[in-house]
Structure 1
Amino acid sequence: MSTAEKRAEPESADAGIRVYNTLTRRKEVFQTIEPGLVRMYVCGVTPYDSAHVGHGMSLTAFDIIRRYLEHRGYEVRHIQNFTDIDDKIIDRAKAAGIDPDALTDGFIAEWHNQSRALNVLPATHYPRATEEVGSIVAMVQGLIDRGHAYPVDGDVYFRVRAFPGYGKLSHRELDDLLSGARIEVDERKDDPLDFALWKAAKSGEPNWPSPWGPGRPGWHIECSAMSSTYLGGQIDIHGGGADLIFPHHENEIAQSEAFLGVEPFARYWLHNGLVRTGQEKMSKSLGNFARLKEIVDRGLGPAFRLMVLQSHYRAPVTYTEEGLLAADRGLARLRAAADPRATGSSGVDDEVASTIHDGALDALATSTDCRFHDAMDDDFNAPEALAALFDLARAINRARGEGQSSEQVEPARETLVTLAGVLGLDLENQAQSTAVEAAPFIDLLLEVREALRQRREWELSDLIRDELGKLEVLVEDTASGATWTRRRG
């Protein structure tokens, strides 16, 4: 049994994990409501179009968090919703001449396919807003009964000033919200800040019966109702993108705490950073997004996961094609080290040799395990955990190069594979490509090729590129140097 496998056996439920809580703006010791059980709700997508890489980042980031919590011995009840009724869905369905359900069904199926390609664990439940209207109507009625909401002409609005804690997640004052935002004036509302819980039906749009007349749910109330239905009152973790902090998550807190009479509604609010292209957030509305489907169709789902792991989940990420291909090459190096069939060449210098003799590799595997868990215990610091794995992979390759046997290398290799698996990286699922085993040698060849190019020996330089191409390795020259990636069939 590897060091990592031994460490994965939990000593207790709350094993010293600290998480950054957006609500309090500080790191806190993670303690669940019920020992050993994590109730986690993560906002899903509005399926009116194909998902972009920003959605993929959030999906992957919370999968990594969930995987680590399960590795630490928790049971995780994970709810991820689909907002399958929305103005954008209605407009897109009308433009396409199809029923809204047909539109959303197609994109939801695509989402599940892409989730599998990213090696994302399935959620415990995937509730859809259109299938939860009964519980949504009951929550809206409960808020009216408690004086926190009021009906007007078939609409129902949440009375923001009746909830004293409004603004505590986004750390905004009500008066600042009123003066600093462009709010559409509706004379029917008690206050311009009040937001819709239920929207009266419009001609030709999907609608459901309610005590206030036919209509459909507002966006914010859907998540509050589905969280309550599937997780039951107070929850441990509520997650989503940083762009949801206000108004969506702020409104969720107001609705849920006003209805449940429990504070806080969610103990820990976790938000992933946004993906950017240049200086702008990636979004469908801005039209600057890269579709997740394009990455998956190229077979680069595992590389995308590695790219997500290279940044802390709370940090913004700038997405580039170069970054994705670099992650793919990094994955090839990890897989080369994890390959039990791999053998190295003899002959390394004394300094390297001294690091791999006398049980040093086993000692490094043990320290890697500690470094990995310390990093992940610290607000799921995946970049530091990943760096520890790359250090171990390099040491494994050096040990093989010195001539250590497979038996000598095996404990460290097992540690590498096990810890990578905690992050959702399947290193033993080797791609059908020479590049996996040959990654270090390809890098060396490209260094030689660059030296040839500096000396203007174009014929030899092109020969290396062409011969690598025959081995399913594509070489591309960029302003920052040559890069390579594996060809997919």
Structure 2
Amino acid sequence: MASLTIQNSLAPGSAVPFVPLEDGKVSWYACGPTTYDLSHLGHARNYVSTDIIRRILMHHFGFSVNFVMNFTDVDDKIIIKARRNKLLELETRKPYSPEQRRELVFKAFQAYASSNLPLLQSADDAADLDENNYQARKEAAYGRVLAGGTITGEGKPSDAEAKVKMYLNALDSAAQALRTGTLFDSAEDILLPYLDSLYKETFDTRDQTPFTDLTQAMEKAFVDDMTALNVLPPDAVTRVTEYVPQIVKFVEQIVDKGFAYEANGSVYFDIAAFENAGNTYARLRPESKNDKALQEEGEGSLSKTLEGKKRSGDFALWKKSKAGEPFWPSPWGAGRPGWHIECSVMASDKLGEQMDIHSGGIDLAFPHHDNELAQSEAYFHECGKGEHTWVKYFLHMGHLSIAGSKMSKSLKNFQTIQDALATTYTARNMRIVFLMGKWNDGVEISPDMRKQADNWETTLDNFFTNIKAKLSEAEAPTSAVKDLSLADKSVDGLTEELEQAKKDLNAALSNSFDTPTAMQVILRLVRDANIYMNKSADANLQTVEAVARWVTKIAGIFGLDPGAQPPYEGLGWGSGEIRAAVVDPKTAIKPYAAVFAKVNEDVQALNLAHTPVQAVLAQQQPQVEFSELEKSGEQDIEKLALPYLRATSRLRDELRGIISTAALDPMTKQAVLSLSDRIRDYDLTDLGVQLDDQTDRPSLIKFVPAAKLIAAREEKSALLAEKAKQKEEARRAREKAEEEKWAKAKVSPLDMFKGDAKYLEWDAEGLPTKLADGSEVPKSQAKKLKKEQDRQKKVHEEYLVKFGTSA
């Protein structure tokens, strides 16, 4: 087996050998969500990709993984959103008159525009911005951005343009609210920051309920999303608010070691002191070390008040709480943890002074992860022992982007996971999309990528369906079929291809979890197996089954079947839903038994005496075969249903057989045809069973999701209805053309030009001689009129022959 290498952000470049601190065991800390809003597809990309790597480590490479994840439940974004939500709730309760409400929204509208879109109020405009002149000013100031360009007119659109569009969308809604009077219903985006500016300093934070209500609700939503995406739960979960005392002690030790200092109630990390002690700062992103925009983003609201900092790059370990912010006691006064310190404390508490893997989205590399590394290595620093290694391998998941901008809550350009699963994706399909890209590469989901993912899933789905159907056919109580399909044979080409696929897949996964290559290995093998299985009726199904079971195992390792459990020794994947652990056989087969009973009854009603059908009716006893399965403890619903499905299918096969061989009267023949179609297209389709007719062999029974079969049936019905409609429209068009043709032919050539206002006189043959102005008809025109009359004579004669009458 190839040795595992891994792309380590701490060692940019080629993948490096993965050697955990303890043989066979992996300690892993993953940055979890900030619980202030619903999770979106960008989060799905991060956590699903993380889950895939975790599963590969555990179930392919055999590591024991201790996976810890945090929930950030106190943070600037959480504080602001929770406080604003509460303030808006309080505001809606106030007994405002309609005029007072409008004035409040109007002031919020102007404040929002002034703060975020200053170009709307240019120096040339004497009038204040309002809902009436807003549209014209928007087009004048930001028309270039709205048309897909950039603010400056140069380069490609990025996050800056995405923000402009977000701000304009908020003002669009607010302007509409001001014009229509809907006010509070449509202007929430602009009202929230305005109310916050008015009342945040009077907000009583001794009651932390508004904050905990928000974070607990969002944490539950996140957990539900991850469950829906089949992401394994962490082995341990940590929350910032449960670690505040430990955070205070952690910060104290960093201060005591001389790597941090207190200023105006806040504590800042001293980067210069850290580096002077022989340590390296910004090891992940050295090029971003002096990026002020990223530094300010990392500091949040504190970045606006820098008093007391020795250097602008120094970052907060502990923040002095301002009015309107929750607080906890500390040696430096009432405050709250800095953003980065939380992970250092919680990860170190759970995993010790060293860990194998730390992961998160690529946007966290600087400043969050670089600051985590610095403060943690400062905490564990010992003089004379060199730099401390807190993390061996840093894994950063690539962004998911939309039109060049990362998907982000702050940009409001995201689709929530809940919405995506309800409208656009299944959990399996989304995971396949992510598997088709490298975990550390950026991904922009394109129609082509979606098509590739759909094709991959469909290919495997059909492969599993077909091999299970053929195995069921071979294992049916028909020895001739069984002997033919499962005969012992020598090692063939497909066996060799399977062994090569195993080697190729292992090589791909050993190369820093190269899932795109692994997915191609699987697809290639499945296509080869399909060719082998379909090339002859006596293909060795045991070889194909071996392929299917190996593919099933890898699909299970990748998390593509939520109902599967390691070591993934089944055959095929489930529908995507987790089934009950214990199945009651009699309850499970009721729908199948009911269909058989109904079909049996309807066949008997046809009174097909003296045909093979009558003998089959007497022989069928599916309940006996089912009872044997029940006694054996069988839990697979498909296997339990097969006795009834085989019996139903056999009756249909016999019905099809007698249509061309038995001497049936027309009415009986039509009834047999109708029943045969109904069994296939309705009775079994509604159960999620597809019958494939085979020449000289029983129909092949396939289990396919009922929704898929019903959709195909409805699509077929719609196509037939459309064809019938087109055929009818064509018939009517032909009839109309025919009517118009004979209506024209009915006119006598003597009369065809008479009554036309363009002419004044006609000769004895009915040809015009003078125009309406009294002038003679020109010779050239007269020749044309004569040719038209000759053509009319011919069609008029045809009319007389056909109808025998004239006009």
Would you say same fold, with TM above 0.5?
yes
Give runs of aligned pairs for residues 394-433 of structure 1, distance below 5 A.
394-402=527-535, 403=537, 404-426=539-561, 427-430=572-575
In 1, are the aligned partners of 2:284 and 2:365 still within 8 Å (CA)? yes
* Residue 23 (str. 1) matches residue 267 (str. 2): no
Superposed CA RMSD in Å reads 3.1
User: Hey, what does 1:137 align to over in structure 2?
Assistant: 248
Match of 2:456 in 1: 330
Unaligned stretches of 5+ residues in structure 1? 1-6, 8-14, 346-355, 439-464, 476-489
Shift of 1:170: 0.5
Residue of structure 1 equivalent to 2:205:
none
Q: Is residue 80 of structure 1 aligned with residue 213 of structure 2?
A: no
Cα deviation for residue 332 of structure 1 reads 3.0
Give the Å deviation of 1:330. 2.7
Q: CA deviation at 1:328?
A: 4.0
Match of 1:205 among 322, 325, 339: 325
Q: Distance in 2 between matches of 1:133 and 1:369?
A: 49
Deviations 1:294-327 (A, max 9, x none): 1233561111111100000111101357744653
* Aligned-pair CA distance for 1:401: 1.6
2:334 corresponds, among 211, 214, 238, to 214
Q: Matches of 2:329 and 2:322 in 1, distance apart?
A: 13
Q: Match for residue 341 of structure 1?
A: 468
Q: TM-score, normalised by structure 2?
A: 0.50
CA separation of 1:141 and 1:304: change in aligned 2, threshold 3 A: same
Q: 1:120 to 1:153 in 2, by over 3 A?
A: same
Q: Give 1:429's aligned amino acid.
A: G
CA positional deviation for 1:399: 2.6
Distance 2:294 2:468 in 1: 62
Matches within 5 A, 1:281-320: 281-298=406-423, 300-320=426-446
Amino acid in structure 2 at the alignment position of 1:16: S
Letter of the 1:83 counterpart:
T
Match of 1:167 in 2: 282
1:93 and 2:62 aligned = no
Name 2:54's counterpart in structure 1: 66
Partner amino acid for 1:319? I
Alpha-carbon distance in structure 2 between the residues aligned to 1:405 and 1:473: 38
Of 512, 520, 538 in structure 2, the residue corresponding to residue 379 of structure 1 is 512
The corresponding residue for 1:148 is 259
Q: Does 1:256 align with 2:407?
A: no
Residue type matched to 2:573 in 1? Answer: E
User: Does the 8 Å contact 2:428/2:576 carry over to 1?
Assistant: no
Q: What amino acid is aligned across from residue 559 of structure 2 in structure 1?
A: G
What displacement does 1:471 show? 6.4
Give the corresponding residue for 1:360: 493
Q: Aligned partners of 1:415 and 1:473: how far apart in 2?
A: 38
Task: Report SS of the residue matched to 2:236.
Answer: coil
1:468 and 2:613 matched: no
Distance 1:60 1:311, change over 3 A: same
Shift in alpha-carbon separation, 1:181–1:294, aligned structure 2, 3 A: closer
Q: Which moved further from structure 2: 314-323 or 77-86? A: 314-323
Distance 1:325 1:301 in 2: 16
> What are the Cα deviations for residues 33-92 of structure 1, in whole angstroms up to 9, with x where unaligned?
111111111111101111111111110111111111112121111111111111111121
Aligned-partner Cα distance in 2 for 1:130–1:472: 58
Task: Provide the rounded CA distance (Å) in 1 between the counterparts of 2:223 and 2:718.
Answer: 30
Q: CA deviation at 1:469?
A: 6.0
Q: How far 1:23 moved relative to its partner? A: 1.2
Q: Distance in 2 between matches of 1:371 and 1:168?
A: 34
Alignment length, in residue pairs? 426
Residue in structure 2 matched with residue 44 of structure 1 by the alignment: 32
Residues 151, 212 of structure 1: 8 Å contact kept: yes
Please, which moves more after superposition, 161-170 or 94-103?
Answer: 94-103
Q: Are the equivalent residues in 2 in contact too, given 1:337–1:397 (CA < 8 A)? A: yes
- TM-score normalised per structure 1: 0.80
Q: Normalized per residue, which structure has more strand?
A: 1
More helix by share: 2
SS of corresponding position for 1:16: coil
Paired residue type of 1:341:
K
**Which is further off, 262-271 or 242-251?**
262-271
Aligned 1:258-277 pairs, distance under 5 A:
258-261=378-381, 263-277=388-402
> Do the aligned partners of 1:336 and 1:342 also contact (CA within 8 Å) in 2?
no
Query: SS in structure 1 opposite 2:459?
Result: helix
Given the superposition, is the C-alpha separation of residues 431 and 167 from structure 1 closer, same or farther in structure 2, using an over 3 Å criterion?
A: closer
Q: Distance in 2 between matches of 1:148 and 1:386?
A: 48
Contact 2:254 2:260 survives alignment (8 Å): yes
What is the match of residue 190 of structure 1? 310
- Of 207-216 and 317-326, the range deviating more from structure 2: 317-326
Q: Is the 8 A contact 2:320 2:334 kept in 1?
A: yes
Structure 2: how far apart are the matches of 1:360 and 1:117?
40
Check 1:83–1:292 CA distance in 2 against 1; reply closer, same or farther (3 A cut).
same
- Tell me, yes or no, if the aligned pair for 1:335 and 1:430 is still in contact at 8 Å: no
Query: Any unmatched runs of 5+ in structure 2?
Result: 87-208, 297-302, 382-386, 474-488, 562-571, 578-684, 691-708, 720-807
State the one-letter code of the partner of 1:85. V
Q: Secondary structure at the match of 1:103?
A: helix
Secondary structure class of the residue paired with 1:186: coil
Mapped contact 1:82–1:128 kept (Cα < 8 A): yes
CA distance in 2, matches of 1:291, 1:178: 30
1:32 and 2:20 correspond: yes
Question: Which structure would you say has the larger RCO, counting Cα contacts within 8 Å and 6 or more residues apart?
Answer: 1
- Report if the CA contact (8 A) 1:233-1:265 is conserved: yes
